[in-house]
Amino acid sequence: MEIKILEATGDDQVVADAARVSYDGKGRKSTDDQLIRYLMRHHHMTPFEMINVRVYVEAPIFVFRQWHRHRTFSYNEMSGRYTKFEDEFYRPIGWRKQDGKQTSHDELYDIPKADDLMNEAYRTSYICYQELLQLGIAKEQARIVLPVGMMSKMYASGNLRNWLGFLKLRLDKHAQWEIRECAKMIHDELEKKYPIIMEAWHEYHFESVTLTLAAQCEIRGDEWVGSSGEKAEVAATLAELGLDRILEINKAAEEGLEHPS
Ligand SMILES: Cc1cc2nc3c(=O)[nH]c(=O)nc-3n(C[C@H](O)[C@H](O)[C@H](O)COP(=O)(O)OP(=O)(O)OC[C@H]3O[C@@H](n4cnc5c(N)ncnc54)[C@H](O)[C@@H]3O)c2cc1C
C-alpha cells in the first residue's frame, strides 16, 4: 500500500487567522496555540475547513470500499472500464484470527496453507480475467471475476476537518488493520505539517472519552437501567479510564457487602 500527500495547504496559522476574523483580528490577544486549542476544545471546527489536503493512494479494493463511505471527500479512482488491471494483488504480511463478530486480533500468524489458498485464488481469477479479455469481452465485464484484494489507485481530497473525522474513525482499534495503516501514514504527515492542530486534536478529540449518562450514573453510584451490552460498554469505558474500582464498589454496595478496600 502506498500513500502520498500531494498537497497540504497552509499551516497552523491559517486556521488561527480564519478564527480571528470573528472579531476582525482585534481585541483578544491569544497566541495561535491557545486559539487552536480553544477551537478544538469547543468543537468550533469550521476554521479547520480552510486547509485542504489531497492524497494519492494505492490500496486493495476492500480498503477503498471502506474509505468511500467517507462521503465528504472528493474522489477519483482508476476505472476498471477503461484500464486493464495489472497483476497486482494485496498480500498481507501475516494472517489474523477472527475475534468476535467483526474484528480480528492484531497478532499475526504465519500460515502457509492460507498463503497457498490466497495465491491460488489470485492466480486463477487473473487467468480468467485475461482469458475473458482475449475473448473480446469488455473490460467492464471481464473484471467481475477479480477479487477485492485487487490493487487499485485513487486520489482523495478534502478539507482538514474531513480528514480529522476520517482519522478519528480509522485510527481507532476497531477499524480494520489495513485502513488503519493508511490512516497512520496520513496522520504522521499531517502531524509534521500542522503540529499545533494535531496536538490539540489528539488531546481534545482523539484521546477524549464520551461519558454517557449511564456511565455518569455508574460513577455516582446512581441506579440506571440498560442492556447487558450497554453494561459491558460502560464497564469497558470505566476500565479504560482506570475507574473500574468504582464498578466493584457499586456492586458491593448493591449486594450489601463492605468493599474490601
Ligand atoms: C469500525 C467501523 C466499522 C464499520 N462497520 C460498518 C458496517 O458494518 N456496515 C456499514 O455499512 N458501515 C460500516 N462502517 C462505516 C460507517 O457506518 C460510516 O459510514 C463511515 O465510518 C463514515 O462515517 P461518517 O458517515 O461519519 O463519515 P462521512 O461520510 O465522511 O461524513 C462526515 C460527517 O458528515 C455528516 N454527514 C455526511 N453525510 C451526511 C448525510 N447524508 N446526512 C447527515 N449527515 C451527514 C455527518 O456528521 C458525518 O459524521 C464502519 C465504520 C467503522 C469505522
- Could you give the CA distance from residue 33 to residue 38 in angstroms, rounded to a whole number? 9
Ligand 1 mean position, distance from CA 162 (Å)? 12
Q: Do residues 60 and 149 make contact, with C-beta atoms less than 8 angstroms apart?
A: yes
The H-or-E segment that residue 153 falls in is strand 151-159
Compute the 3-state secondary structure of the chain and give helix, strand, coil in percent, each to the nearest 5: 50, 15, 35
Is any atom of ligand 1 closer than 6 Å to the C-beta of 74? no
Residue 80 corresponds to which cell in the numbers above?
Answer: 476498471
Q: Which CATH number fits domain 2-104+148-206: 3.30.300.210, 3.30.1360.170, 3.30.2320.80, 3.40.190.290?
A: 3.30.1360.170
Domain-wise residue ranges, the chain: 2-104+148-206, 213-254
pLDDT in tens, the chain (261 residues): 999 999 999 999 999 999 998 776 666 678 999 999 999 999 999 999 999 999 999 999 999 999 999 999 999 999 999 999 999 999 999 999 987 766 667 789 999 999 999 999 999 999 999 999 999 999 999 999 999 999 999 999 999 999 999 999 999 989 999 999 999 999 999 999 999 999 999 999 999 988 999 999 998 989 999 999 999 999 999 998 888 877 777 777 777 766 655
- Give the residue ranges of DSSP H helices in the chain: 12-20, 32-41, 61-67, 112-134, 139-142, 160-170, 177-193, 195-201, 213-220, 228-240, 244-254
Ligand 1 mean position, distance from CA 163 (Å)? 13
Please measure the distance between the N-terminal and C-terminal CA atoms of the chain and give it in whole angstroms. 51
Q: Is the pTM of this model over 0.85?
A: yes
